[in-house]
A and B are shown apart, each in its own frame.
Chain A
């Protein structure tokens, strides 16, 4: 059974703190990993698509790294802002249409 684990489940930080969380996935049959940002009552929004071992992607204050050999990806947020509060989902693709999502890390940023 393919399983995607995200940790921590939730995280409370102060505005200005930098933070990171982890997505662990099977190291075999890897095709791609997606990170999504999901604000309450809104649609999940794609942040990054990562396909190659060693990939590093950056979008503003948010960046992500990928290690397909050991089966993990890190998402980093530098200088967290209240508007970063959301659930961050990772999704593991094996090349078919089914995608396995993690349970998400719920981030709360306090002003």
Chain B
């Protein structure tokens, strides 16, 4: 049983560009959450998707958007990249109403 997978592993972009990160949840999970982890800090909640809708959002600007597909996989899109968007982006999956979230290995985004 594969766990949570994310792609790509690493990504380098320049300021102003747009990026798309992808996540496949653990088998049997229907809820996907995205987190941003800046260097030396704890992960910060970006948003959560369930039934292809954004259910909850953290304190992130509209430049951050997402999507969930019928197979429960998800994408995170970031527009107009800033240097401060450089971080490890983590995807976590869970079952509806369950506490426990399982994390993927993350995508390391570097903005130059």
Instruction: Tell whether A and B belong to one assembly.
Output: no
**Which A residues have a C-beta under 8 Å from some C-beta of B?**
none
